């Protein structure tokens, strides 16, 4: 394998960063060259992404690579969250700021959509779990609101596809992100035409779908001139950030593993060769998102560390500043199993006073509310770990496959208390690492496209050799079983 350099641009819900990666025969090295904030911009009642500012920050990161470090990368790859999108009009002009998935315009929209196409029909066609912010529901909300943008839009691009268009000038939709729209038919391997017809959405605006590892084009001449560089290939990795993270899961071939991408969201699932679209998977509201190497990610979206993040923001606004390490220490010192919540409760979705919402949930379910930051955070972490147990059991039931180990990746694995809780609650060994799984997966998919790596097995072997992994052995107890029974009883009643 020849020495190769690649640039990974990784956009998360709270921040983005540009990573310079170097690959040689023994390991993958990642260097963060710039980091920039991200988050929703509120105007009136609406939430938006600041797409132009994000794109400018990306270019600053590229400048730090090609101009400051004098590196000529073999590729540029970009990944972001799913579901959100921009619409282009005549002349490829962006029609309005892209909305944030926590925007309230989709509140109550699913029932209105199901009056046009049933829940069963939609799942049978797409295999995607129902969340009110999926692209299909955002577009349908625009249609019901009489938005003129749908009538003048020429091209629909998910967020990474929009940025790739601004980078390379090519309008395509990468497979892993296309599936998150809930408008893709995995059996027909194209857009779900009948859904567009039933919901009166313009099919003609949907672009060509390309697989992960596609060379989209070259960096626009205007950007090359701005940065003082020659043309650089722009490569679509798995443009959905979880797709890239799973590409870097350091699992051994043939092992019985599940993945847990831990961060603002927890995404937990298994890599499967074909989508699992059954009445059983629909009843559990599991999803089939596009993966790498002709696979799907059969998984469940879980609210994740968002609950802790929003608690921390609420306390900061009140003048109580804690870092995440302090909150974890306070949680570890708090009484175990004193409180629990259903982390998927819709009341936790929007930004706001999360401690008040957790307290309200506890009161609704006959519990005393937590009375300290440590108790609130412990409640969140234990509830997450118990939800992981629910998901592991459903994964085994739906796939008929045994899970021996959970590979946890992403920034959330820095919370070692949660990692041990995950092992204890599920009764499975948890192996953590790498933290920078999304960037690593982005890079190895670029490397496969460029011929620097042969396939995903070789890529995962490189990841195993490049990053420190930590193992958490399970310490199950009757207390976890009792807490799990309480959570399952609540979920069955709601």
- Domains in the chain with CATH codes: 4-236 (3.30.420.40), 250-433+454-494 (3.30.420.40)
Residue 317 confidence (pLDDT): 96
Residue 492 has pLDDT above 90, yes or no: no
Distance CA 65, CA 63 (A): 5
- Sign of the C-alpha dihedral computed for residues 398, 400, 405 and 407 taken in this order: negative
Residue 249 has which token pair? 């899961």
Residue 428 confidence (pLDDT): 98
Distance CA 307, CA 240 (A): 22
Residue 3 confidence (pLDDT): 54
Distance CA 352, CA 463 (A): 38
Residue 50 confidence (pLDDT): 97
pLDDT band, very low/low/confident/very high, at 102 (cuts 50, 70, 90): very high
Supply the angle between the helices 416-426 and 373-399 in degrees, to the nearest 10: 40
Mean pLDDT over 21-26 rounds to 87
Residue 77 confidence (pLDDT): 98
Contact 123, 277 (CB under 8 A): yes
Distance CA 156, CA 89 (A): 9
Residue 491 confidence (pLDDT): 84
Query: How high does pLDDT run on average in the chain?
Result: 96
Residue 2 confidence (pLDDT): 54
Query: What count of residues does the chain have?
Result: 494
pLDDT in tens, 311-369: 999 999 999 999 999 999 999 999 999 999 999 999 999 899 999 999 999 999 999 99
Verify whether residue 45 is a known catalytic residue.
no
Q: Give every CB contact of residue 441 below 8 A, 6+ residues apart in sequence.
A: 79, 237, 238, 243, 244, 245, 246, 247, 248, 292
Residue 246 has pLDDT above 70, yes or no: yes
Residue 127 confidence (pLDDT): 98
- Rg (C-alpha) for the chain, rounded Å, is 22
Residue 1 has pLDDT above 70, yes or no: no
Residue 334 confidence (pLDDT): 98
Residue 275 confidence (pLDDT): 98
Count, in order, helices (H) and strands (E) of the chain: 19, 21
Contact 128, 200 (CB under 8 A): no
Residue 311 has which token pair? 């608690």
pLDDT band, very low/low/confident/very high, at 13 (cuts 50, 70, 90): confident
Residue (of 352, 414, 354) closest to 383 by Cα position: 354
Q: Which of 79, 185, 241, 345 is catalytic?
A: 241
Only one residue has tokens 């606004």, namely: 317
Question: How far out from the chain centre does Cα 265 lie?
Answer: 7
pLDDT band, very low/low/confident/very high, at 30 (cuts 50, 70, 90): very high
Distance CA 167, CA 54 (A): 12
Number of other CB atoms surrounding residue 366 within 10 Å: 6
Cα angle, residue 436 at apex, residues 161 and 401 outer, rounded to 5°: 85
DSSP for 208-223 reads EEE-TTEEEEE--HHH
pLDDT in tens, 212-232: 999 999 999 999 999 999 999
Residue (of 86, 407, 173) closest to 267 by Cα position: 407
Helix ranges (H only) for 186-322 are: 193-199, 221-227, 241-247, 279-283, 306-317
Contact 78, 164 (CB under 8 A): yes
Phi-psi region of 192 (alpha: psi -120 to 50; beta: other; left: phi over 0): beta
Mean pLDDT over 466-494 rounds to 92
pLDDT in tens, 183-217: 999 999 999 999 999 999 999 999 999 999 999 99
Residue 455 has pLDDT above 80, yes or no: yes
Mean pLDDT over 458-484 rounds to 96
pLDDT band, very low/low/confident/very high, at 118 (cuts 50, 70, 90): very high
Residue 26 confidence (pLDDT): 80
Residue (of 97, 43, 73, 53) closest to 442 by Cα position: 73
Distance CA 81, CA 84 (A): 8
Residue 451 has which token pair? 């011929």
- Farthest CA pair distance, the chain: 64
């Amino acid at each position: 394998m020849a020495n190769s350099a690649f640039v990974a641009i990784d956009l998360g819900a709270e921040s983005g960063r540009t990573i310079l990666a170097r690959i040689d025969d023994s390991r993958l090295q990642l260097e963060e060259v710039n980091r920039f904030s991200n988050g929703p911009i509120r105007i009136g009642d609406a939430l938006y992404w600041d797409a132009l500012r994000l794109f400018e920050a990306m270019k600053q990161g590229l400048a730090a690579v090609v101009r400051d470090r004098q590196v000529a990368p073999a590729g540029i790859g970009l990944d972001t969250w799913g579901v959100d999108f921009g619409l282009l009009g005549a002349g490829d002009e962006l029609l309005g700021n892209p909305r944030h998935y926590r925007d309230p315009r989709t509140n109550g929209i699913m029932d209105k959509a199901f009056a046009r196409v049933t829940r069963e029909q939609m799942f049978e066609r797409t295999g995607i779990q129902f969340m009110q912010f999926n692209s299909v529901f955002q577009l349908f909300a625009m249609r019901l609101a009489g938005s003129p943008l749908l009538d003048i839009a020429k091209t629909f691009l998910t967020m990474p596809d929009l940025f790739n268009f601004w980078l390379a000038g090519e309008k395509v939709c990468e497979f892993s992100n296309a599936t998150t729209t809930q408008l893709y038919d995995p059996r027909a391997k194209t857009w779900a035409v009948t859904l567009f017809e039933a919901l009166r959405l313009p099919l003609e605006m949907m672009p060509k779908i390309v697989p992960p590892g596609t060379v989209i084009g070259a960096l626009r001449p205007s950007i090359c001139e701005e940065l003082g560089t020659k043309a650089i290939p722009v490569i679509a990795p798995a443009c959905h950030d979880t797709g890239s993270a799973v590409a870097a899961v350091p699992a051994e071939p043939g092992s019985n593993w599940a993945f847990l991408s831990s961060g603002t969201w927890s995404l937990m699932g298994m890599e499967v060769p074909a989508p699992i679209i059954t009445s059983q998977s629909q009843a559990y509201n599991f999803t089939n998102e596009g993966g790498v190497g002709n696979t799907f990610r059969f998984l469940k979206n879980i609210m994740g560390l968002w609950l802790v993040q929003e608690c921390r923001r609420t306390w900061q606004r009140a003048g109580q500043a804690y870092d995440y390490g302090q909150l974890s220490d306070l949680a570890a010192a708090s009484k175990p199993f004193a409180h629990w919540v259903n982390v998927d409760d819709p009341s936790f979705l929007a930004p706001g006073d999360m401690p008040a919402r957790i307290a309200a949930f506890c009161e609704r379910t006959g519990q005393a509310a937590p009375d300290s930051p440590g108790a609130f955070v412990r409640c969140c972490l234990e509830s997450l770990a118990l939800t992981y147990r629910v998901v592991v059991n459903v994964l085994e039931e739906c796939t008929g496959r045994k899970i021996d180990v959970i590979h946890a990746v992403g920034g959330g694995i820095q919370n070692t208390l949660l990692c041990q809780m995950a092992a204890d609650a599920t009764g499975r060994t948890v192996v953590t690492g790498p933290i920078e799984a999304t960037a690593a997966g982005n890079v190895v998919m670029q490397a496969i496209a460029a011929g620097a790596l042969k396939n995903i097995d070789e890529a995962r072997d490189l990841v195993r050799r490049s990053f420190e992994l930590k193992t958490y052995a399970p310490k199950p107890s009757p207390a976890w079983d009792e807490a799990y029974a309480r959570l399952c009883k609540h979920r069955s009643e709601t």
